[in-house]
Structure 1
């Protein structure tokens, strides 16, 4: 599952439809080496790997004092002022994520979560350019292999299995499969979910 999906997924239960869901990541489909290379880019302040991975997906045009940006968040060119509004909205996705994978990805997620919405520059600085590439890569290139999404409103949980989020209503879920998932990842799943999660739990 790509992280950008958190921006559109809601709890499918009638009467709930809560948004956003909380995501806990157990494993990544994306290789550890890729996360390591992104971390190296950030340490060296040289975006070689990020730019290669996002080739053709980020276009920045500067004409005098005017800057326009097109990327996977905007889908069309936007003046910097308007672009930053979208950028700030997408940063909110990161607040819902907890990386429990014990890989270099956790360091990247943390760095992205530390971007301050209220302190973004009003001009295209090298720091902002780096943040743009990092957020695009995390949201649209990195992919979760296994994890769980939690609805804090109704107490339901939804597994991510082999990159696919299983967003099914209660009557279409299989108790045996769901309990097997909880058992497999019980060391990373909150006790409240294990004991009280809906529609199934291990209690």
Structure 2
């Protein structure tokens, strides 16, 4: 059992955020801080190296500290393209993937995900809240990059279908399903702010 694998983290902030009127989601404020800051905090408490995957406002993202890497193509190919980009920009053996729009995630959730993967040396650990899979909250071996490259080159974009091609373990987050609250619209963001203030 390899529990000493080197680890890095990537924050996926490269999407178009169509339901946010194409605003750059990671830069939208939640309780006065850009959403990407919450993901940085979650990773910084659990992994030594962090990458931000972004395709717009690169200079603004660089101000947060971690290196910023855009997708290889300019066609906004979805989360798998961002994951592949990060795999190519790290020497770590395991990569933790977080979305930029889930501000309730904490370092202990990242550590739990890593532990689930390490426990059985799975290729990939994906978060499950007891009802559904959260396929952009992952810990995966970076040696899968050739598989992912081939999958994307074949025109595939479905993340769950690619995950199923590998030794996948589900990390059980059924006790804390609310941590995966992600903010796809300004209405959802306002509602979460109001809820957290009660």
TM-score by length of 2: 0.25
User: Larger relative contact order (C-alpha < 8 A, sep ≥ 6)?
Assistant: 1
> Of Structure 1 and Structure 2, which has the larger fraction of its residues in strand?
2
TM-score by length of 1: 0.25
The structure that has the greater radius of gyration is 1
